[in-house]
Chain A
Amino acid sequence: MTPVLEASNLHVTFGTSIAAVRGISLTVARGETHCLVGESGCGKSVTALAIMGLLSRTAHRSADILRFHDHDLTRLSERGMARLRGDRIAMIFQEPMTSLNPAYTIGSQMAEVFERHRRVSRTIALDRAAELLHRVGITAPGMRLKQYPHQLSGGLRQRVMISMALMCEPELLIADEPTTALDVTVQAQILRLLQNLQRELGLALLLITHDLGIVARIADRVSVMYAGEIVESALTGPLFAAPTHPYTRGLLRCIPVPGQVRRDEPLGSIPGVVPRIAPEFIGCSFRERCAFAMPDCARDVPRQRAAVDHDYLCRLPPDWTRAEAA
């Protein structure tokens, strides 16, 4: 099956000193949830903006392939991109309060997208908005359409953002930390909603998060990012069952899991901090923090196969984890 989104060797640099995204490759198929997971500064949000064509002017994007269906996004004009954005490709951001316009009602913001792409009247657009608000579980959608963003709670605002993204029935939805600003109970509700909608509509969903708990529960495929690179990519089950990159393994050990806490033992942690990477950087970007680093890690690192559909970026052999466990 041809993917909805395909990126190969995608790079984003800011000026001459910062390489934010360094040659990442990923695909998202129809009906698939692909999670991009990593800590702050790893380049996951920049990747999303690069796909959407929303990078600032100071950024430089290049890619061997960056394709949405048959559209080559590297060659598409800004007007062509604007036609796709909000229509066939939609995005949800982390903080709904800053991505909704405080001066306009929910209804007028939701209707605008539909009017622009579908050339329909305001009345029809508002009907569509009410239908979607109902669909994301908002009671009394007619009243909500007349309200302003500040009159809604965080959970409701994020529901509005989701329904706004779905106005034109997009084929690709990019969600950047959609629940990070929300309380846990609301987070579970919003993710459940997102998952149901994704299944019903057959959306290709690229979900960006720092939270491995979310990843485990919602993803079909996971790509772990570190310092601008995908250091490990696999289907969700194998990634959690047999993480192979030392960073992925370290990250999983850092998360306290309720009910499985051993208070007499310290939590696993990864010493040091994420480095800033310049474009001319060579070698493994994790080597400074890695317990298994060797002198060779300062040279080019191979991308290896741990199993079918499971690759990782590290010199260690695929079966090294057995030696570690022994």
Chain B
Amino acid sequence: MTLAVEVRNLRRVFRTRSGMLAAERVVRAVDGVSFALPAGQVLGIVGESGCGKSTLARMILGLLPPSNGEILVDGRSLASMDRRERARLIQPVFQDPFSSLNPRQRVRDIVGLPLAAQGNVSDRQQRDRVMEMLGRVGISAEIADRLPAQLSGGQRQRVAIARALVLHPRIVVCDEPTSALDVSVQAQILNLLVELRRDLQLTYLFISHNLAVVEHIATEVAVMYLGRFVEQAPVDALFRDPRHPYTRALLASVLTPEPGKGIPDVGLGETYPDPANIPPGCRFHPRCPMALERCRTDAPDNIVSHGRLTECLLAETASGT
């Protein structure tokens, strides 16, 4: 099985200063992430705001250079590719279709732009491929002449998907693609993404804060916390048997539509994670309900066993290493 995306020890540091005399803030947004994503799979990445999931997505899309580490797409170094080559392999779908579509361009031109940018497609070919792709995502020909402002949120996201797929990329990075949509529309878009992956043999990197959405679409799930993957496992294993205390807390926090169950007590306390101030030892220890004394000082290693990864001292003890 070939690897669609492989990432080795990826890091990204941002340095900001709020004033001339203020101390420099060093934000370790992505702090040592490695994974290998086989072609045709969907890696769901879940985590809360500020965990670095969007920074990771932007690096894999080539929109942001890493501070350290390596990204291989389709077996080749992303850094060695030019923009056109990269665009043919990997494409994004972003959260907010209101800001990711040019408001002055008609739908057909928005979707045609990646083809035009490649420079080797005739006008006629471009028109045909745009209309074919719009048809696939459920956008009718009459809508092709409209401006984004004349579309609903769901239609805009369909247009964004058509633009991402018009070059027939191998990999699509979806960054919260349904988070700005109402539930009834979210379901339409998720179903469309599932169908397109099956029909076009796509590989997705699917980022979301919504665990249920990720469970629906992913084959493999990584849980990100303060810049690292703290747990990674096949989707069923992760949801059936979560091992990291943070994953458990995340799952316990999901409010399923089941009356009578009440609001769960997730036991995470009042501290909130700050990527500019990553705690020593295990980065989750200030919020962890199961933290031991040594979690304050000893950073856990990635424990890999039976196809899953857990970064927790408790898991180390449990697996006998």
Q: Interface of A with B (CB < 8 Å)?
A: 39-40, 137-139, 153-156, 183-189, 191-192, 195, 210-218, 236-237, 240-241, 250-261, 263, 266-271, 273-274
Contact = CB atoms under 8 A, between A and B. Distances in A.
9 contacts: A40-B182, A153-B274, A213-B254, A218-B263, A241-B259, A253-B187, A255-B212, A256-B215, A270-B188
Nearest to A38: B182
A139 B211 CA distance: 30
Interface in B227-263: 239-240, 249-263
A156 B239 contact: no
A27 B262 CA distance: 22
B302 to A, nearest CB: 23
A154 B209 CA distance: 16
Given A211-B255, A273-B152, A266 B186 contact: no
B191 A267 contact: yes
A256 B194 contact: no
A155 B262 CA distance: 20
Interface residues of B, number: 46
Given A185-B266, A213-B255, 6 more contacts: A185-B250, A188-B255, A258-B211, A268-B187, A269-B191, A270-B188
A294 to B, nearest CB: 21
Contact of B182 (A39, A185, A188): A39
Contacts of A261: 212, 215-216, 239
Contacts of B40: none
A255 B257 contact: yes
Nearest to B188: A269
A156 to B, nearest CB: 7
Contacts of B274: 153
A213 B212 CA distance: 12
Contact of B183 (A236, A254, A259): A254
A184 B259 contact: no
Q: Please give me the 5 A-B residue pairs with the lowest Cβ-Cβ distance, nearest first.
A: A213-B255, A269-B187, A183-B48, A270-B184, A39-B182
B212 A257 contact: yes
Contacts of B262: 195, 217
Contacts of A156: 270, 272
B154 A138 contact: no
B185 interface: yes
B49 interface: yes
B297 to A, nearest CB: 23
A156 B256 CA distance: 24
Contacts of A255: 183, 212, 257
A274 B252 CA distance: 32
Most B CB within 10 A of own CB, among A195, A213, A253: A213
B272 A237 contact: no
B304 interface: no
Contacts of B217: 263
B139 interface: no
B264 interface: yes
A244 to B, nearest CB: 16
Nearest to B190: A267
Contacts of B142: none
